[in-house]
Structure 1
Amino acid sequence: MGCFLTLVEPIVVFKSLADSFYDTALLMVVYNQCNRTADNSTYYEQQKEASKFFLFYDIISCLVPLLPAVTLGKCADKRGLKILTVIPLLGYLLGRSFLFFIEMFKLPQYVMFIGHAVTGLCGGYPAYWTGINAIAALRSTNNNRSVRMSSLELSSGIAKLLGSILSGHIFMIPNNHTGLPVTVLSLALYTLSVVYSAFIIKYPAVTADEQRGLLPSPIEEKKDMRAMVYLFVAANIFYLGMLGGENVISLFVLKPPLSWDAIWVGYGHAATNMMYVTSFLAVLIGSKYLSDTFLILTGIFSNCAGMVMMSFVKQSYLFFIGKFVRY
């Protein structure tokens, strides 16, 4: 039992399940509201309204957490890693509860910007994932640290995969398809993650020697700086393209020719979250026989090939074939 209380995987599973339920509920609620508020009933107007919402939503997600995450990181260095898990998770709980009020009181979807800003001001994903990785790193050795980090991604991916499949079915339970059951379940899981991170898990104590062991020496840092800059630029360009593509795909599947409902949206999110499982297996197996450069290029090319295939999708099964090629 004592060993279990040192694991961060329960936090990752609770939070990932909550994310998958929330993502499905948010997409369907926003799109349904856009159907009612668009100037006319054409799919173009609905798509335009939904695209505008998610554009600003993603901008808030990227920009607002930057300064709070750095501030929380400095506080965590002095006061312990608990700050980097509890505060961001509490921000998720508070910020995403706005979706519940939107559904209950028929508020406009743009109220979610306030909730998303609250999440960002509490550190958001950057602070949360930094804290999770820091705890895992301190609980592992130099030999198994890479596998330990990959296992966190795997835990998150499996939880999101299962949550995405279930979320669509739960969304369709009530006759009016309001999404309230999915939202309430998501908030309950966020609450569990906050309780576990605040009162149950035992945090490692960070000593000065351990801090030095996790950081490169000044000579190594200077030597690898150019490579780090190249990798940072390449990763951000790739992430920008992938994030933009996923947002387009999420809205594309809701209109003809696919016209998906919440159940199929859940299946689509599950196919996306398979990436975590396949990437873990690729790192675990492929790294024994292939170079890191080759693995990176394979991932980039497969993603591009899958996106090209999905641009011509007119039937649902072709969508999942394109996802399979990507991941």
Structure 2
Amino acid sequence: MKGFYLVEPVVAIYSFATFLVYPLMQQYVYRRLWEQLTNTSYPVADISGCAANSSNLSRQYEEVEKAASLFSLYNELFSVVPGLIVTVILLAYSDHRGRRISIILPLVGSLVYTVSVLAISFFELNINLLIVTSFISALFGSWGTLLGGCFSYVADVCHDGKQKTLRMAGLDMVIGVFSGAASVCSGYFLKATGFNWPFFTSSLLHGANLLYVVFVLEETVKVPASEGTQEGRSRVPLRKLASRVYQLFATADRRRSVLLVLLLLTFTIYCFCNVGSMSVVTLFELNEPLCWSEILIGYGSAFSTINFLTSFLGVSILSRCLPNLPIVIIGLLSMTAGLIMTAFAKTTQLMFLVNVPMILAIMPAPVLRSMMSKIVSKSEQGALFGCVAFLESLSSSMAFIAFSSLYAATVAWLPGSCFLVAAGLCMIPMALMGVVGVLDSKEVAEATSLISGEEMEG
């Protein structure tokens, strides 16, 4: 079964199924709130959802925008805590009992979520049940849990540092391509069939993905016979879970600890800026003056997947001639330029052109993951990616909450302020990477050479 050490199909199907639903959920909530707040049906159009020269309708859009962003905030608040806790536990546990458990449980949670959403939509149940559903599904893990498990899986099967970087970049590319394809399908799917069929299709895909992991995907972590007893299962792993992440720093030398802290901070702030800005894009596109329909929203999401392809090519090409630090900084500069352009996009053409300066914006994520993976041992990969996934989920949730609140507060006078704030915050990870490059300490200088691509001792 060695031919089935492939986790890429899991990420591909999960990305397609998740992003088939994700843009629709914002639109579903938006339309349900529109009907509740205005007592009218939602104005559907082929290109624009806004009616020109109607001050009353503009006020209605503003009111619904605020309600939708606040609903998203509450939904995130109720799902973030259980998701974070489960992420750390599952990924640390995977170092002992295998990576598949950290992949299977999030798939179960996603299946529960999509089936529940389908029921809420089909029977037109109270919209607040979506918050309950999010909380329950978070008990099985989150998007970060599954990705942490998949990246740990890749770290297990890749022994060459460059191969690890490229394969992790490939996973990010798979996420982008299949999420973009799903976004295109979601718009047409919604227009042709309504919300129920996309939710049903997503449920089927999550179910099929679960079967693949359970019956086809091979395990990379072999459980020692001495830990196979009931006592080992019940005591040894659980006793060590709480200390796994702590040991990443407590048992390491100063060189590795400093590097790990700097890289984790850089990755966390990058995720905060990226997820935070992207979390309000759909609302920004629905609002005036863009007023995009579901078709344009799908095309916009799909067009942005070019960034994943170009970023993968960028990593592949630039890693041949540049160390890792400049690659990360180039990616951050690309993202900053795109965010500034988005803030001032007032036409459909300009909104599509935003993706041009952002062609390398995804590069920092896989490069930073690979840099961190290289400086820890194989037995610590689960704990590392548990820490990474925890910080990624925490920063993403905090970003979602912060940017939803900011958008609700500024939508009336400057809807693009969220993107300007994110662009400004990108200066922080750039500065952190600069610190890594200029530190005079001998130990950190050696580590900098290490993460820049020089050979590392076992």
TM beyond 0.5: yes
Structure 1's 279 and 220: CA in aligned 2 closer, same or farther, altered over 3 A?
farther
Structure 1's 244 and 216: CA in aligned 2 closer, same or farther, altered over 3 A?
closer
Residue 155 (str. 1) matches residue 171 (str. 2): no
Q: Contact conserved, 1:253 with 1:259, CA < 8 A, in 2?
A: yes
**Which residue does 1:275 correspond to in 2?**
307
Q: Contact conserved, 1:54 with 1:247, CA < 8 A, in 2?
A: no
How far does residue 21 in structure 1 lie from its aligned partner after superposition?
A: 0.4
Structure 1's 158 and 112: CA in aligned 2 closer, same or farther, altered over 3 A?
same
**Which residue does 2:146 correspond to in 1?**
128
Q: Contact conserved, 1:133 with 1:149, CA < 8 A, in 2?
A: yes
Residue 229 (str. 1) matches residue 257 (str. 2): no
Residue 88 (str. 1) matches residue 106 (str. 2): yes
How far does residue 217 in structure 1 lie from its aligned partner after superposition?
A: 11
Q: Give distance in 1, aligned partners of 2:64 and 2:12.
A: 34
Opposite residue 9 of structure 2, the aligned amino acid is: P
| CA-to-aligned-CA distance 1:48-80 (integer Å, 9 cap, x gap) | 011102222333454331111222234323332
Structure 2: runs of 5 or more not aligned = 40-56, 225-246, 360-458
| CA-to-aligned-CA distance 1:11-39 (integer Å, 9 cap, x gap) | 11110110110112212211111211226
Q: Please give the residue correspondences for 1:161-240 in structure 2 after superposition, counting only pairs within 5 Å.
A: 161-174=180-193, 178-206=194-222, 221-240=253-272
Opposite residue 247 of structure 1, the aligned amino acid is: S
Structure 1: runs of 5 or more not aligned = 209-214
Q: Please give the residue correspondences for 1:4-83 in structure 2 after superposition, counting only pairs within 5 Å.
A: 4-38=3-37, 42-83=60-101
Structure 1's 117 and 275: CA in aligned 2 closer, same or farther, altered over 3 A?
farther
Q: Give distance in 1, aligned partners of 2:3 and 2:34.
A: 47
| CA-to-aligned-CA distance 1:101-146 (integer Å, 9 cap, x gap) | 2211112332211221122211212321122122222222224222
Structure 1's 120 and 219: CA in aligned 2 closer, same or farther, altered over 3 A?
closer
Opposite residue 104 of structure 1, the aligned amino acid is: F
How far does residue 6 in structure 1 lie from its aligned partner after superposition?
A: 2.2
**Farther off after superposition, 278-287 or 37-46:** 37-46
TM-score normalised to the size of structure 1? 0.88
In the alignment of these two chains, the number of paired residues is 317
**Which residue does 1:297 correspond to in 2?**
329
Opposite residue 32 of structure 1, the aligned amino acid is: R
Structure 1's 156 and 101: CA in aligned 2 closer, same or farther, altered over 3 A?
same
Opposite residue 342 of structure 2, the aligned amino acid is: M
SS of 1:323's partner is: coil
Structure 1's 297 and 77: CA in aligned 2 closer, same or farther, altered over 3 A?
closer
**Which residue does 1:255 correspond to in 2?**
287
How far does residue 45 in structure 1 lie from its aligned partner after superposition?
A: 0.6
Q: Contact conserved, 1:18 with 1:186, CA < 8 A, in 2?
A: yes
Opposite residue 86 of structure 1, the aligned amino acid is: I
